[in-house]
Structure formats: C-alpha cells, structure tokens
Amino acid sequence: MPQVHDEMTQARETWSTGWLLPRVMLCFFVLDLALRFVPLGPLAFRAWEAMLRHYPNAIGPFIPNKHYHRDVSYGGVASIGNLPALRHTHPADFTTDALGFHDPPALSRGNPVGIVIGDSFAVGSELREDESLTAQLTRRSGAYFYNAGAPQPLHLRSLEQVAQRIGLRRGYVIFEYLESRALEDPPAATPDGGGGKIQTAIFRALGPDWTDRLGTPLNQLHASPLEVVSIKVEKRLQNNSLLPNSFSRFVIEEKLRNGEPIVFLPEEFRSPADPRKVADRWARYFGWYADSLRKDGLQLIVFLVPNRPTIYGPLLAYPRDVSRAVSTLAELEAGVRRAGVEVVSLEPRFSNEAPSMLAERKYLYLLDDTHWSGTGTAIAADELFHLIQH
Amino acid sequence: MLFNSLVFLFLFLPVAYFGFWRLHTKNQRYIWLTVASYIFYGTWNYKFCALMAFSTAVSYFAGVGMLGAAEPRRRKLFLIIPVTVDLALLGFFKYFNFTVSTFAQISSWLHVPVHAPSLDIILPVGISFYTFHTISYMVDAYRGVITPTRNFWEFSCYVSLFSQLVAGPIVRFRQVEGDLENLDQADRRRWLNIGWSFFAIGMMKKVLLADTIAAVINPAWKNVAHLSTLGAWLCVLGYTYQIYFDFSGYSDMAVGLGYLFGIRLPQNFNSPYKALNISDFWHRWHISLSTCLRDYLYIPLGGSRVSATWLVYRNLLITMLLGGLWHGANWTFVFWGAYHGVLLCFYRLFRNSWDRLPDILRATGTFLLVVVGWVFFRSENFSMAAAMLARMFSFSAGDLFPGLAGLLVVLLISACVAHFAPNTFEIRHVWKPWIVAGLCAGYSAALLAIASGQQSPFLYFQF
C-alpha cells in the first residue's frame, strides 16, 4: 500500500494547499456575506428580487423611493424550471414610495379611502404598474386605494403604522388572501397564532414591532447573490444538450385546452386536508383582526383569490379535479362571513369567465408565473368595487 | 450535515478545527472531537445519537472487562455479549423489514400466506460503519491484537470521529491508536498541506465528477426500458465512475479531515479500476471493508487454509454474500455479492490461464466484469437489472438521453483519472504553484456548485 503518512510538509509557503485553500474558503465566505447586503438588481430578472430589501425607516419591504426598470422580464415559474422556451417576456417597471411599498407616486390621489394588504398578488408582481389591484380599484372607484402588499400580509401593528403615515382615518382594509395561504397557520403574535409554541412565545414576548424588525434582516441575510450566480451558471449548463435540465423537476408542465403551454409549481396544487378546520381557524383570526381594526375606524374586507390550478385545472388538455380547492375557498368564505367579516371570493367569477376567455387567448393568470394577469386584477377590482358600493 | 454543504464548510469545520487546536490535553481534545462528532451526527437525527452512545458504552465496558478478565470463558463472554448486542441493533434497524418481507414472500410462494408486520424503521445513518468499528475493536481486543483503552473519551472519539463516521473508511482501533494516544502532541502544521490537498481533491471528485455524472444518468436510470444499447452502456459506465468518484471522493475528504485533526486514516481506494483480476479489484476497492471481511469473516471461516478445495470456495461465497448484504437490505446487493463471490471462485480456478493474458486484456476484462456487477448494485430490483442488461446486450435502438455531450466529456475525464492517473495516496502532495492554482480553481468551482444549494448526499450514506 503506498504510504504518504510520513510525508512531512510545512504549510508556510504561499503556494501550498494548506496556506491557499483555507484562504480561498475565507474569501468565499467573506464575499458571500458581504454580497448579501448588496442589492440584487444586476442579477435579478424581475423587480421582486431586485427591490425586496428592507430599509430601517421604511415600513414596507422594498427599497423606498426607487424606480426599477427592466426591458426583458419574465415569469418566475418558467425561471424556476429553467424553461426559456416557455417564458413570456415583457418589460418590467416597479416604483416604490417613501414607505417602501409598491405605490407609484404617479398613481396616488390625495388621501386614500382604503388600503390593500396581502402578498405578491396585492403587490402587483409581474404586472404593469397601472394593472395592479390598487391601480385598477382606484381607477374604477375614483377614490385612492393604497398598496401595502408585502411578501407576507402586514401584521396589525405595521398596518396601523401605515394607516397613520398615509393619513387613513376611516376606510377599508382589503386583505388579499391567496388560497394557498390556507395551508399555513395564521401568523404568530396573534391570539390565534400558529408557527410553533416556542416561536409564538418569543414573538408574543417581543411584540409585533420586533416580529417585523427581526424578520426582515434575517430574510435579507438569507438571499445569497453567490447562490444566485451559481444557480444561473448551472441553468446555463443544464440546457438539455450539455447537461439535462434538472430544474424541470421543480415545476409541472401542462397544456391548456387551447394548446397553450402553462407551467405550475407543485405546491400550487396543494389543498388542506380538512378545509373546515382551516376555515374555522382563519375565521377566528380574521374576526380578531376585524375587531382590532374597528377600534381604529377601519373596516376589514377579506378578498379570497384562488390559486391558478383551481381555475385552470379543469381547463387543461388533461383536466384535473379541483373540487377540494373549490370547497376550501367556499368553507373559508362561509367561515369568515360567520365571523362577521365582509368577504368576497373571486373563484366563482373567475371560474365563469376563464373558459370563454381561453378561446380568445386571454388569461386571468400568467402562464409562466403564479400571479394573476392585468385581466385578472381588472375583474378583481370590479368585484371589490361592487362590494364596497353596496 | 454533508461535507459538501455550506454549513459544514463554513460553520462546523472552522469551529471544530479552531476549537480543537485551542485545546492542549488529550482528554480535552477527545471530548471536543466527540462532542463535535455527536453534533455532526445529530444534524441527521439527534435521536440516533443515543443509539451510537449506547453502542459505544457497551463496547467500551466490554473492552475494560476484557482487561480485567484472565479467564478465557469470561473474556469470551465480554466478546460475545456486546457483539451480539451490536449485531442485534444493526439487524433490527437495517434488516428487520427485509427479513420479514422476505419471509412473507417465501410463505406466499408456498401458498401459506402470512401476515407480516412492517415497522416504520428509519435506518440510522452510518450504523453499518460504527458497528463495524466497535465490533472490530472488541474482536481485536479479544485476540490480543490491541490493548483496550481505559479512557472512555478516547474510545468514544475513535467510534464517533465525524470524518469517518457516516461512510467510512472503516477504521480499526489499531490503525489510529498511535495518533489518538499522541493527540496532545499533534502538530497543527505538520499535515496541513496534505490534509487540505486530500480534502480538495475529494471534494472535486464528488462535486465536479460524481455529481455531474449523476445529474445525467439518474433520470435515465428511471427509464431503463426505453434506452438504446449505447444509452444503456453509457448509463452503466456513468454509474461505474459515479460510485467510484463519489465514494473515493468521500474517503479522500475523510482522510483529509483526519489529517487536519492530527489523525491518519487508512487508504480506502487504490485505483480499483486498474485491477488486473477480480481478486486484485477487491484488494483495491473499499479496502477497509474488504480487509474487515477478510480478517473477521473469511479467515475465521478457515480462509484458504482448509482441508478441501471446495471449502475455500464456500468461504469466499459466504464472505462475499455477507459483504453484499452489508451494503443494504435488498436482494440485489446479495446478488451483487454472490456475483463477485463467483467471480473470485472462477479466478481461483482459472488463475494460471488468466494471469498469462496480456495486461491490457486482463485490465479490460476485469473492468467489464465489475461494470456488469454494478448493474445489480444500482438497480432497485431484479426486473430493473434484467431490463438494463437486456438493453446493454440486445443491440436495440432507443432513446439517448439529454445531456449526452456533457456526459461524454465527464466520462472521458473520469476514465483518464480512474485508469491512468495516480491515486491520492500515490501522489506526494507537494505541488508546483501552477498545480496549486489549478486545485484552488477546481475547489472554487466546487464551492460555487455547492453554493447553488443542489448538493447531493454521498451514495455510501445509505449503507
């Protein structure tokens, strides 16, 4: 057996592995850590990643007072699956206000009458700025609705701060609630909080202020530009000729009845096992949320948005059963209503309109992304406007 | 926690390393390494730390018991009881469901269906390896090859040492006893270069070669029935190099890590694909396992010093069957072991004729026999193996798979390294600057690949 054990080597020379390799690792580590505090703009293909960075004095999750523009942007799901052929490219603009929300100053009109909270659907991810829910609602109603969308719907305390800063004394809080949120527990630091006993206890002890303050820097540290670069390189190499595309396993490729390809994330198809239990839990949360807002003179409206498969599952070339998703939304709607909170579900209207639009190649959602399209937000704004009017 | 993960490289390793070298006494270092190793192990499933601690304690006390026992029967008792306990644990966690399902299958063939309970057992990572550590320790202590240590922390450090805990090499106490005894005298700088060199080469083997091959062939292995003959051969060749670079890469990293902590681990691979016959292959492949099987199974069975020739073949077959079974609770592993056992018997029978062949023919022939064996090793069941063999030997048209260009390039590099380059134990690890620069570039590429978060576990973790 060849032996190298007794090889006595010293590690002092610069060009030795013992000197150089640990330093390579150190450089890699320092570079990775440092880059985590640098905006991701140059590496991002859309506004979300480029703009998502919390600033100390802002309440919102985005870089305040900044305009992002990119000539060629495309949907996140096609990107996750590394499927360039399925990209639907479009220019992207994203303007934030002083609070760090996607609320372009050009669209604001004096004092708002309402505020929209929710996730990336409420933010208007992947949409033209004039197509976001708040922009459409403002245009439809003639009254200004403020866009306070964030990766996660705002906690009550943050919402109260926003309302105070934008001068909303009385009015509406529209809570955009995506169907897939039913798979999660209501947020911690609430009377009906989930997220594990320890987490809940810590958040309750710290209070909602710190829940937000701690969460955002941790998120910031989580995004590694080196990881982004590495994934980009891998995606380039995995072009099915040099190497197979291993990223395609993260998505589900389907075809609509009209032959148009559409790409989903597997989690979009997931529904809770017990819709009634979930509905009851969220209804209690919304009941508490509405009561708290009422003290500030604000009225809560919960706005249920179906996942893409719930609408397009039956319209696929090989249709899928979406009955559980539909019943989840119905249970949620009934539960929230029972809790005394105004609620509107988009599912019936979307399910009605989607088939006829399919023939015209118009879509309520993007085909390469999880989010809704401008057509979808227009209908959503219409539904909300009718509710508010009545 | 994987060696090829950011949390290991940038958190665990630096803390373990600097903490270790800040300590000065033997016991401090033993305890530090033990604690670090349990943390390392606990990241998979902390509950199984207790199992390892139990196995360690049983073997330690058995060793101490042997020290005080002069009477042969008592000494034997101190061997048999703990070995039985260890084998029972291994048998339960690794082979219970396999045994029960095999029993149920046989009874259904005999038209006497039996309801067999199947337990939801999670196989503790590395149990096959640390059980062999403890058993080899007790057997060696019983045989008087080693003197059992009275220092519990030294022993627990030996059993749980994180660098070789989950996938070997299977280290025998006598192989590291000297370094463990002198752990307080270890010099941090002495093996720094060689340690990092081993670690970097192992990392590149795993991340750049094995994982790249796996990315292409794994999807193809799921679709065996549609492969063309060429595709099937590429798949099997791909796996041949993947498993070698995966496992030898892990072993190199383990050896490198051992050096960084002042402990020299034994060689586990000695260019196995350069072997000129199947016996030579087993002297080069997973050396730590094959020597264990030789010393603790083959030789106690009588080895080749038996009264009749057929007994040698019997011993070879039993050893290889159990060696196959050690790899996993699946009949394909058993068959793989039997296949190699038969090859070893044939070699023994026709040794004189085989050895007269030119080297190139012997090396190629041995390699091809090993390649065919990997079909059974890689296949999830016999139908899959049969389908793959049918595609390989039927000259059928079919699909080639995406990523062929990349696979061919990586296979070419892999073949050159595996068949022609010296292995990590043959090189002196005193590099010219441009080679160090190349190593740094390769290591950086591996780090960047790891940074994408798509790192895959080592194949031998499942055993």
Domain boundary assignment for chain A:
11-42, 44-389
Does residue B42 sit in helix, strand or coil?
helix
At residue B453, φ and ψ (nearest 5 deg) are 80, 15
pLDDT of residue A175: 95
> What are the residues facing B351 on neighbouring strands?
none
Cα distance between residue A365 and residue A367, in whole Å: 6
Question: Which residues, in sequence order, are CB contacts of B72 under 8 Å at separation 6+?
Answer: none
Cα distance between residue B151 and residue A46, in whole Å: 60
Report which of A156, A157, A130 is spatially closest to residue A147, judged by C-alpha positions.
Answer: A130
Neighbours of B208 (CB within 10 A): 20
Best probe of the A interface among B216, B432, B447, B456, by most A CBs < 10 A, is B447
pLDDT of residue A194: 41
Amino acid symbol at B461: F
Nearest beta carbon to residue B403 from set A3, A10, A243 = A243
The predicted model scores a pTM of 0.80
Report which of B207, B195, B254, B238 is spatially closest to residue B457, judged by C-alpha positions.
Answer: B207
Where do the H-state alpha helices sit in B72-210? 72-90, 96-109, 127-143, 152-160, 162-165, 173-181, 192-204
pLDDT of residue B369: 97
Contact B196 A22 (CB under 8 A): yes
> What are the residues facing A95 on neighbouring strands?
A67
Is A21 within 8 Å of chain B by CB? yes
Contact B267 A17 (CB under 8 A): no
Active site annotation includes B327? yes
Is A295 within 8 Å of chain B by CB? no
Question: Residues, chain B, total?
Answer: 463
Contact A224 B9 (CB under 8 A): no
pLDDT of residue A113: 92
Query: Which whole-number Å values give the CA distances from A89 to A256, A375, B9, B270, in the listed order?
Result: 19, 17, 39, 53
The chain-wide mean pLDDT, for chain B, equals 90
Q: Are A173 and A384 in contact (CB under 8 A)?
A: no
Alpha carbon B11 to its chain centroid, in Å, reads 26
**Quick one: DSSP state of residue B123?**
P
**Quick one: DSSP state of residue B426?**
T
Is A260 within 8 Å of chain B by CB? no
Report which of B214, B291, B292, B222 is spatially closest to residue B249, judged by C-alpha positions.
Answer: B214
Nearest beta carbon to residue A15 from set B192, B433, B447 = B433
Is A29 within 8 Å of chain B by CB? yes
Nearest beta carbon to residue A11 from set B193, B212, B404 = B193
Cα distance between residue A343 and residue A331, in whole Å: 12
Greater confidence (B2 vs A355) lies with A355
- Tokens read off for A326: 């539909």
Contact A17 B448 (CB under 8 A): no
Q: B212 contacts in A (CB within 8 Å)?
A: 243
Q: B9 contacts in A (CB within 8 Å)?
A: 25
Does residue B137 sit in helix, strand or coil?
helix
Confidence of residue B45 (pLDDT cuts 50, 70, 90): confident
- Tokens read off for A140: 């439809």
Contact B200 A233 (CB under 8 A): no
What angle in degrees, to the nearest 10, is found between the helix axes of B331-356 and B309-327?
140
Q: A10 contacts in B (CB within 8 Å)?
A: 189, 193
Q: Is the pLDDT of residue B234 over 90?
A: yes
Q: Is the pLDDT of residue B168 over 80?
A: no
pLDDT of residue A4: 47
pLDDT tens profile B241-281: 999 999 999 999 999 999 999 999 999 999 999 999 999 99
Nearest beta carbon to residue B405 from set A15, A224, A242 = A242
Q: pLDDT tens track of chain A, all 390 residues?
A: 444 444 444 445 667 888 899 999 999 999 888 888 777 777 788 888 888 876 666 688 888 888 998 888 999 999 999 999 999 998 889 999 988 899 988 777 778 999 999 999 999 998 999 999 999 999 998 889 999 999 888 888 888 888 988 888 889 999 999 999 999 888 754 443 444 456 556 666 766 566 556 555 555 566 778 888 888 888 888 888 888 888 888 999 999 999 999 999 999 999 998 889 999 999 999 999 999 889 888 999 999 999 999 999 999 999 999 999 999 999 999 999 999 999 999 999 999 999 999 989 999 999 999 999 999 999 999 999 998 887
Is A220 within 8 Å of chain B by CB? no
- Tokens read off for A227: 């990881």
Cα distance between residue B156 and residue B134, in whole Å: 10
Cα distance between residue B115 and residue B103, in whole Å: 10
Cα distance between residue B10 and residue B113, in whole Å: 54
Cα distance between residue B458 and residue B463, in whole Å: 10
Place of tokens 């050690």: B326
Cα distance between residue A46 and residue A243, in whole Å: 26
Q: B193 contacts in A (CB within 8 Å)?
A: 9-11, 16-19
- Tokens read off for A383: 């539904």
Question: Residues, chain A, total?
Answer: 390
- Tokens read off for B16: 């373990």
Residue A306 exposure: Cα atoms within 13 Å on the Cβ side:
28
Cα distance between residue A12 and residue B193, in whole Å: 9
Nearest chain A residue to B179 by CA: give it.
A5
Report which of B27, B64, B251 is spatially closest to residue B149, judged by C-alpha positions.
Answer: B64
Q: A230 contacts in B (CB within 8 Å)?
A: 448-449, 451-452
- Tokens read off for A176: 């955009």
Amino acid symbol at A198: I
Q: Are B277 and B369 in contact (CB under 8 A)?
A: no
Contact B10 A12 (CB under 8 A): no
Report which of A234, A124, A143, A250 is spatially closest to residue B452, judged by C-alpha positions.
Answer: A234
pLDDT of residue A2: 43
Is A209 within 8 Å of chain B by CB? no
Place of tokens 């091809």: B368
Please tell me the distance in Å from B217's CA to the nearest CA on chain A: 9
Report which of B270, B240, B238, B275 is spatially closest to residue B255, judged by C-alpha positions.
Answer: B270
Catalytic residue among B283, B327, B419, B429: B327
Contact A20 B440 (CB under 8 A): yes
% pLDDT > 90, chain B: 68
Cα distance between residue A199 and residue A189, in whole Å: 9
Contact A17 B431 (CB under 8 A): yes
Neighbours of B116 (CB within 10 A): 15
Q: A246 contacts in B (CB within 8 Å)?
A: 215, 219, 454
Contact B403 A229 (CB under 8 A): no
pLDDT tens profile B113-141: 777 777 777 778 888 889 999 999 999 99
Please tell me the distance in Å from B295's CA to the nearest CA on chain A: 17
At residue B192, φ and ψ (nearest 5 deg) are -65, -50
Exposure string over A300-310, b if 16+ CB within 10 A, otherwise e: bbbbbbbbbbb
**Secondary-structure class of domain A44-389 per CATH:** alpha beta
Q: Are B98 and B330 in contact (CB under 8 A)?
A: yes
Cα distance between residue B243 and residue B462, in whole Å: 13
Nearest beta carbon to residue A7 from set B215, B405, B428 = B428
pLDDT tens profile B418-463: 999 999 999 988 888 888 899 999 999 999 888 877 666 666 555 5
At residue A325, φ and ψ (nearest 5 deg) are -65, -40
Does residue B302 sit in helix, strand or coil?
coil
Q: B272 contacts in A (CB within 8 Å)?
A: none
Determine the longest span between alpha carbons in chain B, in angstroms: 71
Is A17 within 8 Å of chain B by CB? yes
Q: B437 contacts in A (CB within 8 Å)?
A: 15
Three-state SS for chain A is CCCCCCCCCCCCCCCCHHHHHHHHHHHHHHHHHHHCCCCCHHHCCCHHHHHECCCCCCCCCECCCCEEEEEEECCHHHHHCCCHHHCCCEEEEEECCCCCCCCCHHHCCCCCCEEEECCHHHHCCCCCHHHCHHHHHHHHHCCCEEECCCCCCCCHHHHHHHHHHHCCCCEEEEEEEEHHHHHCCCCCCCCCCCCCHHHHHHHHHHCHHHHHHHHHHHHHHHCCHHHHHHHHHHHHHCCCCCCCCHHHHHCEEEEECCCCEEEECHHHHCCCCCHHHHHHHHHHHHHHHHHHHHHCCEEEEEEEECCHHHHHHHHECCCCCCHHHHHHHHHHHHHHHHCCCEEEECHHHHHHHHHHHHHCCCCCECCCCCCECHHHHHHHHHHHHHHHHC
Q: Are B124 and B93 in contact (CB under 8 A)?
A: yes
Mean pLDDT, rounded, for B352-377: 96
Neighbours of A173 (CB within 10 A): 25
